[in-house]
Structure 1
Amino acid sequence: MKTEFDKKSVIRQRIQESLIHSTSHGIPSIITSDNWILKVFWIIFTLISTGFCAFSIIQNILNYYKYDVTTKIRFKYEVGSEFPSITVCNSNFFSSEKGYNFYLKSLDKKKLIENSLKEEDEFAHQLALKLNISEIKSLGDSLDKLIYETCLDNREFVMNNESFTYFFHLYFGNCYTFNPGHFENGTKAVPFKSYTTGFRAGLTMKLNTTDSLGLLNDAVVLIHEFQTSPNLADPLFIKPNLTTNIALKRTFSTQLPKPYSNCDSNTDDPKKFNSDLYKEIHDSSYKYSQKLCQDLCFHKLLIQNCSCYTYEDGRFMEGEPCLTESGSECNYDFSPYFVDMDFLNKICLPKCPLECNTKCFNKLITSTRKNKEFELIELKIYFEDNVITEIVENEVMDIFTLISNIGGTAGLFLGVSFLSFAEILAICIRVLLILNEGNKNNAQNTKSFIITS
């Protein structure tokens, strides 16, 4: 029978044998050194190497949790590119004869409302927002009246609901979107593509922006990504009696999702986030955008605080339009209040995740003056070239790089590898087997003693 002393001796011997044959360099040299000077030498250098190794590994782990990224910019050549959506409007909200008559009647109604808006144009605009959408349509240009002709890559388009969709803009009224992301019945549309570049190609439009009094007005052009809301685009005001060329250069950006940036992945999935604002944007048939979600959040808070909205401060046609000075002043004061109370960070951003993929169009605008008798606005929008600027983020260190760095550091300073850690596990297994064998022998000896007795 092995005594407790024998068992410890065997364990010590097995551990020593394993350490001597270890793939790490320092420990075997310490054990096998006969001279105490060499033994101390190996102990000192093993401790120093272990310290440097630990420091380097900690630095690698800390660098990994910084979530740094590298930004790669490349120029991609593409033929047959998806054309953006183009929304055009007349800058005059009341451009039709019915619109002009409505404006005149609104002056009489203004006198009946106490503390009504001081500006007549503003009051008429706000009063029009109380109408339903079919009544509002009659106040401005129809599709056939506003857009005289449309060609894409020299292919003429018929003015119908398959090429254009109606869009109501809070500021400009009747607008029409060419190459819409969805039709008016809600079904998704297939984007048009442009296969040639330069001013001879692309989209050519002739716009009639005269009003019922025969006055020429500016055209308003909104250039936005296919399937996105026209509200995301900054308006371009196109003067009459001009041929205006807008050359587009495209930039596509892709960010890494959290924790590498502030963006969230899969924002195209309407079920991804449990947010009423997020779901409402998806229900609108437009592609999700954080900016659109923030605008909706701002508008709802505006209604909660002021009980009404103005076409200058509101973002959506939701709630009651303001007809009084007190309501307009509340709207005017709400924007700085929104900033001061930090509603954006406290209320809106938690409900409006940031998308990781964005597309933007850089515009170069040139104009040529026509004959003064030329009433139509000629508009040309085209891709300047076939090059797309892509900006892509990549992580500086992923989990596999971290493991490789740790392995390389351990190999450099200690001469260990993954198999060296397996040797530690093997030592533990050998010790357990020795202990288990001793327990079995003790149990058999106890049983034999009982039978003999």
Structure 2
Amino acid sequence: MKKPLSNAIKKIILDNIEFSTSHGFPNIVRSESFILKLMWILCLLLSSGYCAYCLTKSFQDYFSYETDTLLRFKRVSQIEFPTITICNKFATDLSRSNEVTELAKSGYIKLKSEFTDLTKFNEFFKRVDYYFKYNSIEYKDRFNFVGFDIDKMLLNCNFNFKECNSSNFKLFFSSTYGLCYQFNADKTNIRKISSPGKKAGLSLELFIGYPSKDYDLYKSYGAHLFIHNSSTIPSSEFEGISLSTGHETDVILSKTYFQKLPKPFSDCAQDSNSSEYIHSDLYRETIKLFGQYDQKSCINLCYHKYIFDECGCYYPDLNINKNLTRICDSDIGFECYSNHSASYRESKICIECIEKCPEECESIKYSLQISHANYPTPFYADFLMTYDALINNGSRNFISYSNVKESTLAVNIYFDDICYSIVEEKPSETIEQLVADIGGFLGLCIGVSILSVVEIFDSILRVILLFFSKRMN
């Protein structure tokens, strides 16, 4: 009985092979000539080998998780205006007469008296910069008595075809510039514009103050401008552009969204607001300090923690540490910071910081085009002098055209088109493409399709039915 059953099973298999939709196996079975059988076997082996090579490569390409970058341009009816942070490079308004300004003047005179070796001016200005930052943290609560007030700085303000004033600005404190002021910083009410051009943008005319030979310890003066997303905190260490007095500066904006694919395509931080996403102390501390994660701030924090590990104290940056007792002093601490800061860029710690700080999956960048023109004209300077004398009782001390030109500036920040770009990553190969590759190579090389696979199950089912029918008999 066993032999008839095995013969029946063999017949089912041979019949299925002979009438299979794949091309190689049926021809091997049907060919009566040994030479023809050998030819078909060789052809089947060669085509199967090539098919295996192509399929292996397809699987490698899919599991390498490569991406393609797509650039799209989208025009919209409205676009969010960025947050504008403006800082006076003169951290102190020495024209204000009080105890704090007198203390600042005496400190400046003391620093200048220490500048005896003119060949070491780089070292001297590093100390001056450090002195300003350290004291800005120490006297943060008293800066209202010595810093430039927004009402004094702001000569004129227009936004989106309407006039604006000092009430539209929010105070922001910087350890480098002292009192800074932010426009459009309310996260719950972000301003939008629907027209391009200067009139729809933000136009500011600012009074900066006058340089003083006796007290100023600056290399340059003017204003520092930050253009950023409302959810980010600007850093004076590596962001912003400088604005010079006597000029009107046009800043033309273009906005770009960057969207990266998360794991397994990259190690980017998918949720910039959640400290639970990545188990990294640096990641969580960045969100704690800045309210939102971004790679640049994380790397900056890593650098400051490296200085703390080496020196036992922090560099005076208010965004990183607000505790003055943990800030490096101006003597031993400053020397330690200077030595290790110079060696950091060439150390392996710098590379480790980048590895510990993943890139954001989603980010917004603003590209700037900048141009300048002379400002103000003699006629407009007369207007400013008259306005200041009548409205502000001459508080800015405008007395001549050159006097106005050296102490004022204008800046226009606007979009030249109501649109933005999207730089988006897409998988180079999707699961649908992988399936198509598998079917294509199987069909091309050995003539196999989905129905060819069904034929295998057909043979198995017929054998099972044959076995049960024999058993019942």
SS at match of 2:320: coil
Using structure 2 for the length normalisation, give the TM-score: 0.79
Residue type of the alignment partner of 2:427: E
CA displacement at 1:285 relative to structure 2 = 5.8
Residue type of the alignment partner of 1:335: S
1:400 maps to which of 432, 435, 450 = 432
CA displacement at 1:91 relative to structure 2 = 0.4
What's 2:340 paired with? 334
What's 1:295 paired with? 300
Q: Distance in 2 between matches of 1:108 and 1:201?
A: 45
**Inter-CA distance 273–431: structure 2 relative to 1 (3 Å threshold):** same
Residue type of the alignment partner of 1:388: Y
Between the aligned residues of both structures, percent identity stands at: 28
SS at match of 1:267: coil
**Inter-CA distance 437–145: structure 2 relative to 1 (3 Å threshold):** farther
8 Å CA contact 1:140, 1:174 repeated in 2: yes
- What whole-Å deviation, never above 9, does each CA across 1:69-112 have from its counterpart, x for those lacking one? 322223322232111111001102222535532324547999xx
Q: Distance in 2 between matches of 1:206 and 1:27?
A: 85
Structure 2 unpaired stretches of 5+:
112-122, 379-401
What's 1:30 paired with? 28
SS at match of 2:14: helix
Residue type of the alignment partner of 1:30: I
Q: Distance in 2 between matches of 1:425 and 1:248?
A: 64
- What whole-Å deviation, never above 9, does each CA across 1:205-239 have from its counterpart, x for those lacking one? 12221169799941111111232111286221111
- What whole-Å deviation, never above 9, does each CA across 1:239-293 have from its counterpart, x for those lacking one? 1122221112223332223443452423343332223332333334643211111
Q: Distance in 1 between matches of 2:314 and 2:340?
A: 11
Residue type of the alignment partner of 1:328: F
- RMSD (CA atoms): 3.2
What's 1:176 paired with? 181
Using structure 1 for the length normalisation, give the TM-score: 0.83
CA displacement at 1:126 relative to structure 2 = 4.6
**Superposition pairs of residues 97-108 of structure 1, within 5 angstroms:** 97=96, 99-106=100-107
Structure 1 unpaired stretches of 5+:
111-116, 183-187, 445-453
**Inter-CA distance 132–325: structure 2 relative to 1 (3 Å threshold):** closer
Residue type of the alignment partner of 1:168: F
Residue type of the alignment partner of 2:30: T
- Tell me which moved more, 271-280 or 425-434: 425-434
Q: Distance in 2 between matches of 1:299 and 1:323?
A: 15
1:149 maps to which of 156, 172, 177 = 156
8 Å CA contact 1:118, 1:325 repeated in 2: no
**Inter-CA distance 35–366: structure 2 relative to 1 (3 Å threshold):** same
Q: Distance in 2 between matches of 1:6 and 1:329?
A: 97
8 Å CA contact 1:150, 1:206 repeated in 2: yes
- Tell me which moved more, 398-407 or 349-358: 349-358
- What whole-Å deviation, never above 9, does each CA across 1:128-181 have from its counterpart, x for those lacking one? 245264224433123323334322112123423xx332222221121111111x
The answer to whether structure 1 residue 166 and structure 2 residue 209 are counterparts is no
- What whole-Å deviation, never above 9, does each CA across 1:27-54 have from its counterpart, x for those lacking one? 1121122233332232222222212211
The answer to whether structure 1 residue 193 and structure 2 residue 192 are counterparts is yes
SS at match of 1:71: strand
8 Å CA contact 2:208, 2:408 repeated in 1: yes
**Superposition pairs of residues 340-359 of structure 1, within 5 angstroms:** 340-346=346-352, 348-359=353-364
- Tell me which moved more, 190-199 or 227-236: 227-236
**Inter-CA distance 32–89: structure 2 relative to 1 (3 Å threshold):** same
Residue type of the alignment partner of 2:103: F
